[in-house]
């Protein structure tokens, strides 16, 4: 059992970062104590939060009443004795080692022995702060990114003496507050700043060397990395001295290559912002882009080689934290290892640096990026989907890696398999872009093969010798919900949500969803979910048997272990009656009424508002997809599961080749309402 249960949070320092971190915790429904030096500073911090929330109301992210609710969960104080009951403290005071040490000494005195103490430092070692506390094993790093209430990324940093259980508990607490955690070693710049700071620094070096002017470097960097803001604008926004400080730290700890460019020092001395206006000299694009890419390729390979972070976390850091459209390793593989070596050599060779082995040894296929990882702990295999920026949507590449990971885990035996994922969502279905591209080319075979392969691997998720548990911590949509359904057990967090939105985009769930759902919750409620696309929260899903357990984040892993101990699933009885009186009306309605009757307005709702709502939703879906779904539901339900799955798969051609499928999925990608074909009058 994890001794660290995190319910109560505290944040020390109510400045830019601390107020944002506290805001996020409170917005996620958790109580948080916000501490600063005196009451005036506390009030200033609360004021920053109020202002940010009010802006959120203007942007319709929050409703006005939510502002007071969120603020109501934040208790501001300058009295440290109020920290005696908190479970996780995040320190976000000035970036000054002595000030931070003072804070950790004091936290060591006032907090309870099991409290986890975290620092948001950008440039100090976590171990140096841990050293001043009586329990260094429960000191970790939690490095957030500006603005911490909006940017999901957090680096979770254990030092050599950290208790892995404390790191795991802090990790789960980050998931609980909607963050996307990645792991970092206790190393300078952690993962993301290790390459982000040199990217900025090299831009100034290019200027110093006269390779191009500011406007050209800014333009070329934006174009090469696909980002909205170039390095000079970013420095202006965050403050130029911060970049100098960051480069100084890296240069001091790592190598002269990381040390600040002369122009960066001079700019800070002169003060003011960079002027990046003017027309770019497009002939200098390659010179700038090649150098910046070379630097990023070198640093990223080096940090992975030093085990500061993984290839995958390096890319996730860029996608989620920096909002780059492609991660460094993705870009490296696109450029090709051969050229990446040339670019890196040209960029860092003059500094006397050698290329890391990872880059030197990369073959023509590049450096493998595990969109799905397999880790074995305690004889339990953890298959983890690792595409948080795409909400872990399944595409051909991740699908194939998922198959391989599951097969490998199965082959190795052990106590069981856990299917889990990184980021806010569990799995948000299949990659619709892939479907659209094929339909536009009028090719259905790749779609069929994708679904057939998906069905095949999902078949391996239950009924095997070891149990398989889906650890659904967030949104499970379409193919993601089907993945969970295919497992022996579904353990959900309170943030889990399940929905089958397919008929709203002109198709039906084709990875076993129609058949396994009907067998798990009964045919009428399965029809209700697939015809309406209704989203169920975890508690409701539990109430109708769509998941087996709902456990708070702090107990989620224990609940997974308990589910594994139950062993593989035998036969799950198919419900023959509604799960409770409150479900009777829906059960009866979808037992008795056909899609045609519902669409024609002939199905009697008896003015029941829940049924009215369901009918309204059904009418927004593709009539063709609904009819196809109904057919596979009704026919499949009478067949053994294997045959029913075959039927579902074979029906996909008809549903995908109807114009509603292309229209529905295109509308989704274009962010508009689809216009489906009306049913022909019979
Ligand atoms: N700003 C960023 O983009 C960013 C990103 C990641 C990490 N960080 C790190 O976060 C930390 C905070 O940065 P910031 O930008 O929010 O700074 P800030 O100056 O805006 O806020 C610091 C706050 O800490 C308070 N404080 C100082 N000493 C204190 C003490 N002894 N006890 C209680 N409160 C105290 C100050 O009154 C102030 O309100 C730093 O370690 C920084 O490196 C910053």
Q: What is the pLDDT of residues 203-250, one digit of tens each?
A: 999 999 999 999 999 999 999 999 999 999 999 999 999 999 999 999
Mean pLDDT confidence for 351-358 = 98
What is the distance of C-alpha 549 from the center of its chain?
22
Counting from 1 in the atom list of ligand 1, the atom nearest the Cα of 146 is 3
Going from the Cα of 100 to the center of ligand 1, the distance in angstroms, rounded, reads 10
Asked if the model's pLDDT at residue 643 lies above 70, the reply is: yes
Let me know: does 435 contact 665? Beta carbons within 8 Å: yes
| Residue 423, φ and ψ in degrees, nearest 5 | 100, -170
CATH 3.40.50.720 positions along the chain are 9-184
Q: 396 falls in which pLDDT band (50, 70, 90)?
A: confident
Architecture of domain 9-184: 3-Layer(aba) Sandwich (3.40)
Architecture of domain 192-360: Orthogonal Bundle (1.10)
Query: Is 151 a pocket residue for ligand 1 (Cβ < 6 Å)?
Result: no
For the beta carbon of residue 50, count every other beta carbon within 10 angstroms: 17
Strand pairing partners for 499?
Answer: 477
Going from the Cα of 19 to the center of ligand 1, the distance in angstroms, rounded, reads 9
User: According to the model, what pLDDT value does residue 681 have?
Assistant: 60
Query: Is 18 a pocket residue for ligand 1 (Cβ < 6 Å)?
Result: yes
The tokens 């996020």 sit on which residue? 24
CA distance 53 to 63: 9
Angle among Cα 322, 327, 180 to the nearest 5 degrees reads 55
Residue identifier of the C-alpha nearest atom 15 of ligand 1 = 16
Start-to-end CA distance of the chain, whole Å, equals 62
Query: Is 155 a pocket residue for ligand 1 (Cβ < 6 Å)?
Result: no
CATH 1.10.1040.50 positions along the chain are 192-360
User: According to the model, what pLDDT value does residue 1 have?
Assistant: 61
* Nearest CA-CA partner of 125 in 158, 155, 99, 85: 158
Let me know: does 483 contact 405? Beta carbons within 8 Å: no
Query: Is 36 a pocket residue for ligand 1 (Cβ < 6 Å)?
Result: yes
Let me know: does 53 contact 47? Beta carbons within 8 Å: no
Going from the Cα of 94 to the center of ligand 1, the distance in angstroms, rounded, reads 4
Q: How much of the chain, in percent, has pLDDT values that exceed 90?
A: 94
Q: 353 falls in which pLDDT band (50, 70, 90)?
A: very high
Counting from 1 in the atom list of ligand 1, the atom nearest the Cα of 100 is 31
Mean pLDDT confidence for 635-642 = 96
The runs of H, that is alpha helices, within 463-512 are 479-486
Query: Is 17 a pocket residue for ligand 1 (Cβ < 6 Å)?
Result: yes
CATH 3.90.226.10 positions along the chain are 372-670
> DSSP string spanning 267-308?
HHHH-S-----S---GGGHHHHHHHHHHHHHHHHHHHHHTTS
Does the domain formed by 372-670 have CATH 3.90.226.10? Answer: yes
Query: Is 428 a pocket residue for ligand 1 (Cβ < 6 Å)?
Result: no
Q: What is the pLDDT of residues 118-153, one digit of tens each?
A: 999 999 999 999 999 999 999 999 999 999 999 999
Q: How many Cα atoms sit within 13 Å of 438 on the Cβ side?
A: 19
CA distance 330 to 316: 10
Mutate to test the pocket of ligand 1, among 10, 11, 13 (most ligand atoms within 8 A of CB): 13
Going from the Cα of 92 to the center of ligand 1, the distance in angstroms, rounded, reads 4
Asked if the bond preceding 147 is cis, omega within 30° of 0, the reply is yes
Angle among Cα 241, 289, 279 to the nearest 5 degrees reads 75
Structure tokens at 148: 């911490």
């Amino acid at each position: 059992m994890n001794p660290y249960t995190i319910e109560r949070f505290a944040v020390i320092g109510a400045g830019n970062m601390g107020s944002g971190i506290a805001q996020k915790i409170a917005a996620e429904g958790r109580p948080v104590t916000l501490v600063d030096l005196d009451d005036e500073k506390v009030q200033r911090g609360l004021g920053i939060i109020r202002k940010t929330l009010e802006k959120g109301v203007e942007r319709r992210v929050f409703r006005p009443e939510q502002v007071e609710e969120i603020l109501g969960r934040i208790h501001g104080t300058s009295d440290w004795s109020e920290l005696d009951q908190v479970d996780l403290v995040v320190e976000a005071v000035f970036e000054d080692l002595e000030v931070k040490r003072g804070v950790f000494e004091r936290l060591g005195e006032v907090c309870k022995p099991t409290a986890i103490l975290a620092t948001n430092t950008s440039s100090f070692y976590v171990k140096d702060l841990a050293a001043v506390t009586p329990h260094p094993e429960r000191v970790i790093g939690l490095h957030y990114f500006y603005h911490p209430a909006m940017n999901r990324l957090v680096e979770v940093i254990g030092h050599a003496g950290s208790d892995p259980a404390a790191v795991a508990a802090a990790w789960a607490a980050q998931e609980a507050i909607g963050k996307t955690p990645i792991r970092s070693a206790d190393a300078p710049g952690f993962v993301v700043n290790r390459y982000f700071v040199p990217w900025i620094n090299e831009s100034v070096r290019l200027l110093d060397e006269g390779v191009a002017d500011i406007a050209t470097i800014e333009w070329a960097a934006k174009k090469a990395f696909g980002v909205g803001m170039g390095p000079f604008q970013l420095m202006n926004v965050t403050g130029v001295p911060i970049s100098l400080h960051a480069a100084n730290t890296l240069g001091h700890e790592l190598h002269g290559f990381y040390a600040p460019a002369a122009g960066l020092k001079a700019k800070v001395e002169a003060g003011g912002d960079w002027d990046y206006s003017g027309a770019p000299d497009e002939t200098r694009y390659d010179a700038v882009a090649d150098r910046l890419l070379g630097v990023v390729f070198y640093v990223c390979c080096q940090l992975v080689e030093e085990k500061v972070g993984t290839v995958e976390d390096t890319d996730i850091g860029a996608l989620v934290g920096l909002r780059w459209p492609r991660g460094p390793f993705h870009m490296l593989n696109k450029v090709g290892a051969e050229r990446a070596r040339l670019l890196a050599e040209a960029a860092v060779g003059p500094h006397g640096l050698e290329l890391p082995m990872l880059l030197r040894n990369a073959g023509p296929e590049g450096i493998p990026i595990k969109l799905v990882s397999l880790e074995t702990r305690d004889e339990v295999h953890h298959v983890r989907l690792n595409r948080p920026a795409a909400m872990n949507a399944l595409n051909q590449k991740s699908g194939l890696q998922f198959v391989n990971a599951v097969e490998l885990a199965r082959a190795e035996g052990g106590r069981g398999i856990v299917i889990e994922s990184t980021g806010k969502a569990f799995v948000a279905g299949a990659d619709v872009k892939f479907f659209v591209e094929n339909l536009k080319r009028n090719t259905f075979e790749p779609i069929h093969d994708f679904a057939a392969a998906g069905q095949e691997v999902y078949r391996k998720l239950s009924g095997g010798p070891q149990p398989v548990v889906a650890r659904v911590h967030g949104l499970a949509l379409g193919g993601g919900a089907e993945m969970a359904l295919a497992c022996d057990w579904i353990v959900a967090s309170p943030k889990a949500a399940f929905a089958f939105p397919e008929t709203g985009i002109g198709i039906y769930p084709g990875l076993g969803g129609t058949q396994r759902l009907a067998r798990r919750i009964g045919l009428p409620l399965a029809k209700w979910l697939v015809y309406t696309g209704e989203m169920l929260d975890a508690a409701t899903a539990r109430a109708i048997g769509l998941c087996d357990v709902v456990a708070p984040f702090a107990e989620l892993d224990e609940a997974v272990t308990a589910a594994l101990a139950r062993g593989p699933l035998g036969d799950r009885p198919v419900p023959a009656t509604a799960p409770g009186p409150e479900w009777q009306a829906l059960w009866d309605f979808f037992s008795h009424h056909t899609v045609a009757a519902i669409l024609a307005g002939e199905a009697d709702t008896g003015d029941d508002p829940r049924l009215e709502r369901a009918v309204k939703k059904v009418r927004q879906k593709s009539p063709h997809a609904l009819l196809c779904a109904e057919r596979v539901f009704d026919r499949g339900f009478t067949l053994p599961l294997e045959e029913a799955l075959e039927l579902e798969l074979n029906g996909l051609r008809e549903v995908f080749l109807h114009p509603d499928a292309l229209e529905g999925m295109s509308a989704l990608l274009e962010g508009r309402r689809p216009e489906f074909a009306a049913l022909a009058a019979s």
